[in-house]
Amino acid sequence: MNNGEKQVLVLAGEKNMVFLDKAKNLKTDFIKEETYPESIIEVKKNEKYFQGWKIEKKEDIEKLNQKSFAKGDSIILDFGTHQVGYLNLSIKTAGSPPDAPLRFKLTFGEMPCEIGEDFADYDGWLSSSWLQEEIKTIDVLPTEITLPRRYAFRYLQLEVIDTSSKYEVVFDKISCTSVTTADQNKVKKLPEAVSENLKEIDKVANRTLKNCMQSVFEDGPKRDRRLWLGDLRLQALANYHTFENYDLVKRCLYLFAALPLENGEVAANLFMEPEPQPDDTMLYDYSLFFAVTLYDYYLYSNDLKTLEELWPTAKRQIELGLERLNNNYLVEDSKNWWAFIDWTEGLNKQASAQAILIYSLKRGVKIAEELNELELADYYRKKIKLTSQAAHKYLWDENKKIFISGKEKQTSWASQIWMVLAGILDKKESNNLLNRIMNYSEALKITTPYMYHHLVEAFIKSDNKEKGLEILNYYWGAMIDDGADCFWELYDPEDKSFSPYGSNLINSYCHAWSCTPSYFIRKYYPDYEF
Amino acid sequence: MNNGEKQVLVLAGEKNMVFLDKAKNLKTDFIKEETYPESIIEVKKNEKYFQGWKIEKKEDIEKLNQKSFAKGDSIILDFGTHQVGYLNLSIKTAGSPPDAPLRFKLTFGEMPCEIGEDFADYDGWLSSSWLQEEIKTIDVLPTEITLPRRYAFRYLQLEVIDTSSKYEVVFDKISCTSVTTADQNKVKKLPEAVSENLKEIDKVANRTLKNCMQSVFEDGPKRDRRLWLGDLRLQALANYHTFENYDLVKRCLYLFAALPLENGEVAANLFMEPEPQPDDTMLYDYSLFFAVTLYDYYLYSNDLKTLEELWPTAKRQIELGLERLNNNYLVEDSKNWWAFIDWTEGLNKQASAQAILIYSLKRGVKIAEELNELELADYYRKKIKLTSQAAHKYLWDENKKIFISGKEKQTSWASQIWMVLAGILDKKESNNLLNRIMNYSEALKITTPYMYHHLVEAFIKSDNKEKGLEILNYYWGAMIDDGADCFWELYDPEDKSFSPYGSNLINSYCHAWSCTPSYFIRKYYPDYEF
């Protein structure tokens, strides 16, 4: 995710160099693979297809190096599936010795829209510099080049801007050196009984996670290519059930702990280059997730040492979370305060934030008990009680039997989902609440795979695994039906051009927070009767 | 020069590896200098100025690193004079940590028109890939980069295409690592008596030559960046009187001799990368100039060994030149035949080519005598006699008292100039002829500094040094008045937007064949009474 707006300036705190060194030493090696385009295609306008673009195979890929390209000629290649890596080109010439440079344009698309639509028309509010295009001028031909920037793409368009009247160019060999820190060999085969649909969803989810696993867990390899806490939490869960790269999770946790903001709050995200540093953004929910992610890591890894070392950072996040409570034990809502929750426009975050505080406090209790800090565990328990009571007292609409949020008493799916995950209702009540909100037409819905993850988890927690699976099939299955070979940052089945950024061109189409079907399928449904 | 059109395919001949090795071993070291922008300027439309563009200083250069640039911001820098080299940029940021790449565009201009006019509107017939622009996308900031391509420019425009709403960029340091194989220290100071105008012309001519002296004598460092025989001949002459880099001339001669075309003809030009190779272009005049350039080199260097080794190649060019004579001892004119002579549109080349053959034969006689090939010298003398007689008989219009060319009996300055240089009239007749043609309104004029060089030389040869100097002052002086800090490939004082390529954007504004004022001033006018 990317909040994009200018924030109040938040200063970085003191770096913990011991943690930073630990993180640097945990850098895992990249696994490289050479991949090749599979076919020559056309991208055609067709309103029946997702976002109005249809891919049609035009020619066999074997034709590629038999073609020569003059000024204005272009070609579109399909690499068969989503790649993250470095493009290699071997370019030869036909005709006279080249008497002028070659200038050509490369456009990389995760999705057909990026090839079909003109980047020049982009007017979204995220930087257009994310649009993956490059113009190269080559003075010496023939040549073999590797583009220095890493790209995330399935489709590649090459357009020859100019050669000269005396020569043409041949794209003799094109490949991508794909990179990841995920080892495909670690992924266990799903049981035979799992449905083909679900197997396909699992495969695409795996690819999504794999392509986001770089020097850190990136949110999206096209954009923002950054370590966000909210994404990390979900990636780590999927990773434990697939690639099992514990070191990468550990590295990311140490990075966040090493680079706090001024008040000890972990940043919502970190930059890795030129040196690791925190972004000047904090999000109420993301900070609290540090404790949750640490607890999850300990559960899967049994790495007590890391739990001990990073617990002070996690504790500080809970402290800061509690500081925002008002006299009624409610998370104070205000305009200069940010929690992410979801991209739903106009969403009030108070109830969700209240629930996330409770959800995190409960993990805090577990860690405190594990580390024998029993007084602290008791203190957290008291806070859980008070904040849960406050939720029932101030955020519950007894007529609607729905949690409300903010001064306007907004009703949203998000508030109910998080209250269920916070566990302040019993399982039956939780299941009823979720069904109730989904049938309540006035409620604000959810728009991201991130919140769909939480919806599925909420149903599983409410002992309604069936409904969880149904949603999983419906939502992620629909993405596949719409052409996804990685899962997307944003998908609203009812508004397929949805983008919170003002243009679907800038959406990330391989996005970390969408990778959790693998987690659900492998954790909750291995023995499910399909 | 660049003939641009598709030619009949000419195959390369067998390489002479001994010559090629000699040429490679003569590679001279580059002299590097760090240069910096001198001011922040504006380029304004103003029809009173050359090509309609006026440069105005806007701010001191010290302001540069105090400015921060957001999306859409741009700046134009003036490096004070023409540079050939590699651009270095140190880029910092202002605001939050950069959360999106920086994308910016660089436009390099030898002349204001290249900054003022939109490259997108270019529709000349030379490749638009010569237009010096680049779009860079920078993922990691701050950064220090050196652009890998070499540029020829005085003006640099930077336009920020996008950053993000959270940060701006600062161009902290900008410099150019200028490169040449010309040693400025070798150039002797002109006598005090030389006029200031002429001193300025000499300085600009020196810079022109210097910036064209790279791994070979290039025709133009912006375009074509190639070794052309016609340019080499004039550059070598200026070089003998200034930078005295004999090795570079020798290297170029060995390169041409090492890389003949199929029939032993030297190519009109050579490519240096990825490996030295001949272009598939031959020009009647340029091939003959191999003998002339070799003879000049020997005259200045006394390098008998090179004369001996390369004489067979020179001889072959004269042979091929003679092969084109018809039964009347006239160079046969036809449509599938190319001589360069000048860019004047519609120019018939026959008479000039006839004269250039005689001119070259005369150098052939000198070399043959030097190498004691007396029979050959006699043979050449006979040919000189026959071709000179043919010129008088078939190419002389007795009424007009002007040489004519081709079936249409075209009258042009070029034909007279070359006939004078060929020395088939006495000095007085020559001087009269030159004055006659310049006053003959129907004659085709000349359009390039290349032919102005020959006009000046023709007057000097006709014992009219005064007129030569007058033309030199008039023509090259006018370029300086029009803003030249290197001399241009093309300059027609009567049509200042003249380009044989369909656009003045693609003209080369630092061009080898324009550098000869230094040669004239230093050779013919050192003791002149100014």
Three-state DSSP at B228 gives strand
Could you report the per-residue pLDDT of A197-238, keeping only the tens digit for each? Answer: 999 999 999 999 999 999 999 999 999 999 999 999 999 999
| Alpha-carbon dihedral sign for residues B455, B457, B463, B467 | positive
Could you report the per-residue pLDDT of B154-183, keeping only the tens digit for each? Answer: 999 999 999 999 999 999 999 999 999 999
Could you report the per-residue pLDDT of B218-233, keeping only the tens digit for each? Answer: 999 999 999 999 999 9
Residue B325: Cβ-neighbour burial (10 angstroms; 0-12, 13-18, 19+): middle
Structure tokens, A338: 């940010």
Option in B98, B137, B274 nearest A149 (CB): B137
Q: What is the mean pLDDT of chain B?
A: 95
Neighbours of B369 (CB within 10 A): 14
Q: Is the pLDDT of residue A495 over 90?
A: no
Q: Nearest chain A Cα to B99, which residue?
A: A224
| Alpha-carbon dihedral sign for residues B271, B275, B281, B285 | positive
CA angle B143–B149–B151, rounded 5-degree value = 105
Question: Where do the domains of chain A lie, and which CATH numbers do they carry?
Answer: 31-180 (2.60.120.260), 188-212+448-530 (no CATH), 345-361+372-446 (no CATH)
Q: Nearest chain A Cα to B168, which residue?
A: A127
Residue A227: per-residue pLDDT: 98
Cβ <8 Å between A126 and B100: yes
Under a CB-based contact definition with an 8 Å cutoff, are residues B347 and B406 in contact? no
CA angle A34–A36–A41, rounded 5-degree value = 160
Q: Is the pLDDT of residue A6 over 50?
A: no
Contacts of A293 (CB under 8 A, 6+ apart): A229, A232, A233, A236, A249, A253
CA neighbor of A341 nearest in space, from A249, A232, A415, A257: A415
Chain B segment 279-298 residues within 8 A of A by beta carbon are 279-280
Chain B: closest CA distance from residue A1 (Å): 12
Q: ipTM greater than 0.90, yes or no?
A: yes
Q: Does B123 touch chain A (CB under 8 A)?
A: no
Cβ <8 Å between B163 and A137: no
Residue of A69, A129, A134, A280 to mutate when probing chain B, most B C-beta within 10 A: A129
Residue B529: per-residue pLDDT: 64
DSSP string of B127-182, one letter each residue: -GGGS-EEEEEESSSSEEEE-SS-EEEEEEEEEEEE-BTTEEEEEEEEEEEEEES-
Instruction: State the DSSP code for A5.
Output: S
Residue of A5, A149, A164 to mutate when probing chain B, most B C-beta within 10 A: A164
Residue of B137, B222, B271 to mutate when probing chain A, most A C-beta within 10 A: B137
Cβ <8 Å between A161 and B129: yes
Task: Name every chain A residue with its beta carbon within 8 A of the beta carbon of B161.
Answer: 128-129
Chain A segment 307-336 residues within 8 A of B by beta carbon are none
- State what percent of residues in chain A have pLDDT above 90: 93
Chain A segment 212-251 residues within 8 A of B by beta carbon are 223-226
Rounded CA-CA distance A461/A459 in Å is: 5
Q: Can you count the helices (H) and strands (E) in chain B?
A: 14, 15
| Strand-by-strand arrangement of the B277-278 sheet | B227-228, B269-271, B277-278
Q: Is the pLDDT of residue A113 over 50?
A: yes
Q: Does A105 touch chain B (CB under 8 A)?
A: no
Q: Is the pLDDT of residue A115 over 60?
A: yes
Q: How confident is the model at residue B2 (pLDDT cuts 50, 70, 90)?
A: very low
Beta bridge partners of A32: A179
Q: Nearest chain A Cα to B142, which residue?
A: A274
Angle between helices B229-240 and B196-212 (to 10 degrees): 130
Q: How confident is the model at residue B530 (pLDDT cuts 50, 70, 90)?
A: low
Rounded CA-CA distance A102/A221 in Å is: 29
Q: Can you count the helices (H) and strands (E) in chain A?
A: 14, 15
Residue B6: per-residue pLDDT: 39
Structure tokens, A157: 């368009």
Q: Is the pLDDT of residue A3 over 50?
A: no
Q: Nearest chain A Cα to B127, which residue?
A: A164
Mind spelling out the 3-state secondary structure of B324-350?
CECCCCCECCCCCCCCCCCCCCCCCCH
- State what percent of residues in chain A have pLDDT above 70: 98
Kindly state the average pLDDT of the residues A244-257.
98
Q: Nearest chain A Cα to B122, which residue?
A: A162
Kindly state the average pLDDT of the residues A103-132.
96
CA neighbor of A3 nearest in space, from A277, A249, A496, A337: A337
Distance of CA A320 to the CA centre of its chain: 25
Q: What is the mean pLDDT of chain A?
A: 95
**What is the b/e burial string over A314-349, where b = at least 16 CB atoms within 10 angstroms of the residue's CB?**
bbbbbebbbebbeeebbbebeeeebbbbbbbeebbb
Q: What are the DSSP E strand ranges found in B319-409?
A: 396-397, 402-405
Rounded CA-CA distance B352/B358 in Å is: 10
| Strand-by-strand arrangement of the A402-405 sheet | A396-397, A402-405, A410-411
Residue B493: per-residue pLDDT: 87
Q: Is the pLDDT of residue A59 over 80?
A: yes
User: Alpha helix (H) ranges present in A27-165?
Assistant: 112-116
Q: Is the pLDDT of residue B200 over 70?
A: yes
Q: Nearest chain B Cα to A139, which residue?
A: B149
Cβ <8 Å between A4 and B165: yes
CA dihedral B360, B364, B365, B366 (to 10 degrees): 100
Q: Does A432 touch chain B (CB under 8 A)?
A: no
What do you get for the CA distance between the two ends of chain B, in Å?
A: 34
Q: Nearest chain B Cα to A136, which residue?
A: B134
Structure tokens, B502: 């369909």
Contacts of B369 (CB under 8 A, 6+ apart): B377
Could you report the per-residue pLDDT of A329-341, keeping only the tens digit for each? Answer: 999 999 888 999 9
Residue B13: per-residue pLDDT: 87
Structure tokens, A407: 């001064």
Beta bridge partners of A266: A260
Q: Does A99 touch chain B (CB under 8 A)?
A: yes
Q: Is the pLDDT of residue A1 over 60?
A: no
Q: Nearest chain A Cα to B128, which residue?
A: A162
Structure tokens, B510: 């630092």
Instruction: State the DSSP code for B264.
Output: S
Q: How far is CA B378 from CA A80, B327, B361, B384, in A?
A: 74, 20, 11, 10
Residue B9: per-residue pLDDT: 60
Rounded CA-CA distance A321/B484 in Å is: 68
Option in B5, B102, B128 nearest A129 (CB): B102
Under a CB-based contact definition with an 8 Å cutoff, are residues B204 and B485 in contact? yes
Amino acid at B494: E
Cβ <8 Å between A162 and B103: no
Distance of CA A33 to the CA centre of its chain: 23
Residue of B69, B91, B127 to mutate when probing chain A, most A C-beta within 10 A: B127
**What is the b/e burial string over B115-148, where b = at least 16 CB atoms within 10 angstroms of the residue's CB?**
bbbeeeebebbbbbbbbbbbbbbbeebebeeebe
Could you report the per-residue pLDDT of B406-446, keeping only the tens digit for each? Answer: 999 999 999 999 999 999 999 999 999 999 999 999 999 99
CA neighbor of A502 nearest in space, from A20, A12, A84, A130: A130
Among A344-358, A495-509, B71-85, the minimum mean pLDDT is found in A495-509
CA neighbor of A262 nearest in space, from A240, A278, A285, A284: A278
Contacts of A470 (CB under 8 A, 6+ apart): none
**What is the b/e burial string over A39-71, where b = at least 16 CB atoms within 10 angstroms of the residue's CB?**
bbbebeeeeeebbbbbbeeeeebeebeeebbeb
Q: Is the pLDDT of residue A87 over 50?
A: yes
Kindly state the average pLDDT of the residues B294-299.
98
Q: How many CB pairs under 8 A join A and B?
A: 122
Cβ <8 Å between A164 and B99: no
Kindly state the average pLDDT of the residues A361-375.
98
Cβ <8 Å between B101 and A280: no
Residue A432: per-residue pLDDT: 98
Q: Does A498 touch chain B (CB under 8 A)?
A: no
Q: How confident is the model at residue A324 (pLDDT cuts 50, 70, 90)?
A: very high
Could you report the per-residue pLDDT of B26-66, keeping only the tens digit for each? Answer: 977 999 999 999 999 999 999 999 999 999 999 999 999 99
CA neighbor of B516 nearest in space, from B189, B234, B232: B234
Cβ <8 Å between A273 and B135: no
Q: Does B96 touch chain A (CB under 8 A)?
A: yes
Under a CB-based contact definition with an 8 Å cutoff, are residues B248 and B213 in contact? yes
| Alpha-carbon dihedral sign for residues B40, B43, B46, B51 | positive
